[in-house]
Each structure stands twice: as structure tokens, then as C-alpha cells.
Amino acid sequence: MIEKPTKKTIITVILTSIATIFVSFSIVALILGLTPERTINLLRFIAAKRFIETRYVNPVDDESIIDGAISGLVKSLNDPHSVYLDKNFFRQLHDQTSGSFGGIGVYMGFQNDMVRIISVMPGSPGEKVGLKANDQILAVDATPVTELSSEEIPFRIRGEAGTPVTLSIRRAGEDDRDYQITRDVIKLKTVAGRMLNEEVENSKIFTSDPIGYIRISSFSENSGDEFDSMYRELQKKNMKALIIDLRENPGGVLTSCVDISRMLVPKGRIVSVVDKGGKEEIYDSNLDEKTVPLVVLIDGNSASASEILAGALQDTNAATLVGTRSYGKGSVQVVMPMFRDDGLKLTIAKYYTPSGRSIDGEGIQPDVEVELPPDYSSDTQLDKAIEIARDHFEN
């Protein structure tokens, strides 16, 4: 015989179920660190998501909603270096740091809310359509650059080889116009150099003195090996002093910067990285032998890893810095995969130079400040660096 449950029994079961659910939710909330206020905020998000899904007039894609929500979370931090990376941006970031990517072959500078082309790689898609140094980029695929962060602009220009991108360009003395460019695989060589007393193709002789010159355009996974190879090559040519050009260098892979620093910075601290909890990670140099006299060129677009190298050389009196104040990006980012071939690039720590300086938002002031002429008619910064390098090895 099946006995019919009483009203009291039903109420008891319901109350027990509610209590069980409440206890279970409380345990989950405790594990996730959800305070009552955080729990309310989470419920607000869930309610907003369900309201959109059930009442929005057009069909809703669940993945797009979540992508937008994560992007909004990051943007609320007001940190230009923390950004949500969708599938396309996430792949491009990996390609960029590995040393090759689909792009148009231009170096860009960011200053005073303007994006300007600094140089165009020979044989690149950008050169083929007629892009030139000093061209100002107004928009990427009709999106004004003023609506994009400095982190987003390169990602929008880069993309899969064979696909098009349209840049709106302003050039002195001409009407603004659009250039449609077909992306190609760009093999990124981040280190280039020569002796300045050598005459080589497509370059000028800057001095008759045995001064080496190495430009580091960014820090990719291969930069350490590239620098080591170039440095040894110049040593074989009886280099008496070295100029390292970090102008327009946006940074990159920290470990590559440390590898190069260990070839130049005297024995001791290169940089320390301190996270939110105060945990400190220290990178040191074991270099005992003295290098040739060093002069380092920096400017307002020298950022992040390039500032680590410049700051370490300045603090240890291993180099003279020439140019203008650097960008001031003294923070460290990590990229976390998000399970959908996307990722989250987040600032997780700040770095400090050997003397304990945090240059985040401040930049590095050069030892000798030299401005470039507005029309770029001459490289006054390099001229001054050569003068200082010559004085070092002559005295």
C-alpha cells in the first residue's frame, strides 16, 4: 500500500531541499571567494544575460555575449595594456612573439594620439602599395585609430596572409586616401646592425671611427640569439664603442630582454618583478668582463622591455642614454588561454630597475636629452650618440 504524503511531510521535504541547495550554494560561493556583495553582483550578471537571451528582439549568440562580457570586464580596469584577445588577436599575438606573422611590413610609432609609420620594410606589402615613412594612419578598415587603443591597432592591421586590410593615410602635401593592402607572411628580424665606418648598400657612412650600431626593433623569442650573433660579428671588426638603438621599440618578450641584458649589464640585478601579493622575482646578470663603451638611444615610443634594458644600463652606469623620455610602461602582462582559442592579456605585476625605480607612467629620462627636428631632416640623436661614443673610447 502506498501511503499518501501529508502536507507537513511535503513542506518538510521542500524546506529540506531549499536548505540543501542553500548550503551547497554557500559552499560553492565560499570556494569561489564570493562574499554576499559579490554574490549579488554575480546574480546581476546572470539576470542580465538571461534577460537578453529571452527578450532581445534578434537572435542571440551565446559565445558572442560571453566574449563581450569578458571584453567589458577588462576595459573596466582602465588599463591600456590589459585586453581581451579574440581568436584572431590571440593567434596574431602568438605569431608576433614567435617571430613571424601575417602583416604589411611597417613599423609604427604612437605619440600625441597619432599613429605614424616610422619605416617600411623593403619588399613588403606596404612598400608595394606605396606607403612611406612619416605617413599618418587615420583609420584601419574604416575604424578611426582614435577609437582604438595602441594595443589594438597592430592586431587589426595584422591578419592571415592573403587577406586584405585598408588603411586611411594622411601624407603631407597630399589629399587623404585609402590604401588596400594584401597581407603577407612577415619574417620579423628584430635585430640589425653594422659598423658605422663601413659603407654598405642603401646606407650612409656616419663616422670614420670604429663604432658599432645595433638596432633592436622589438623583443621576440629570437632576439637574444640575433643580438648575440650581431654583437660577436661587430667585435670581430674591432668595435671600440657600441650604440644600441631602442627608439620606437614597444617591448615584447621579457626573457629575450633579459638574455640581451646579461651580455651588457655588469654583474648584479637587471630587473625585479613584483606581483600583487608582493612576491618578487629577480633577474640577475653574471657579467664579469667589461663591455665596450655603450650609448643607448631612447624616445617616447621606447616601452616595456626596451625600458628594462635601458633602465638597467643607466642604473649600473654601464651606458649613456641619449634621446627623449621613454614611454613609461613599467608593468608586466601575462596571457591566459580562455578555452575557445581566445585569451586574456592582463597586467599582473610591475617591474623595478636595479636602483628600485618604478617607471610606470613616468618613463626614463635620458642622460642627454636631444630632440629630433620636426621634419626628420637629420638624425640629431644619432649624431649626439656618435659624439659621446667617440669621446668614451678616445679618453
315 is catalytic: yes
Active-site entry in 261, 304, 326, 331 = 304
Task: Please compute Rg for the chain using Cα positions.
Answer: 27
Residue 181, number of CB atoms within 10 A of its CB: 22
Which of 169, 163, 154, 217 has its CA nearest to residue 191?
Answer: 217
DSSP state of 3: P
357: cell is 625605480
Contact between 170 and 138 (Cβ < 8 Å) = yes
To the query of whether residue 119 is one of the catalytic residues in this protein, the response is no
* CB under 8 A, 24+ apart: contacts of 283-287: 283/258, 285/261, 285/312, 286/262, 287/262, 287/263
Q: DSSP string covering 216-283, please?
A: E--B-TTHHHHHHHHHHHHHHTT--EEEEE-TT---B-HHHHHHHHTTTSBSEEEEEEEETT--EEEE
Annotated catalytic, 304? yes
Residues near 88 by beta carbon (within 8 Å), at least 6 away in sequence = 155, 159
Considering 329, 331, 342, 345, which one is annotated as catalytic? Answer: 329
User: Distance from CA of residue 2 to its chain's centroid?
Assistant: 71
What does the block give as the cell for 133?
Answer: 615613412
One-letter amino acid for residue 312 of the chain: A
**Active-site residue identified among 95, 184, 315, 379:** 315
Phi, psi of 169 (to 5 degrees): -120, 140
Catalytic residues, by residue number, are 304, 315, 329
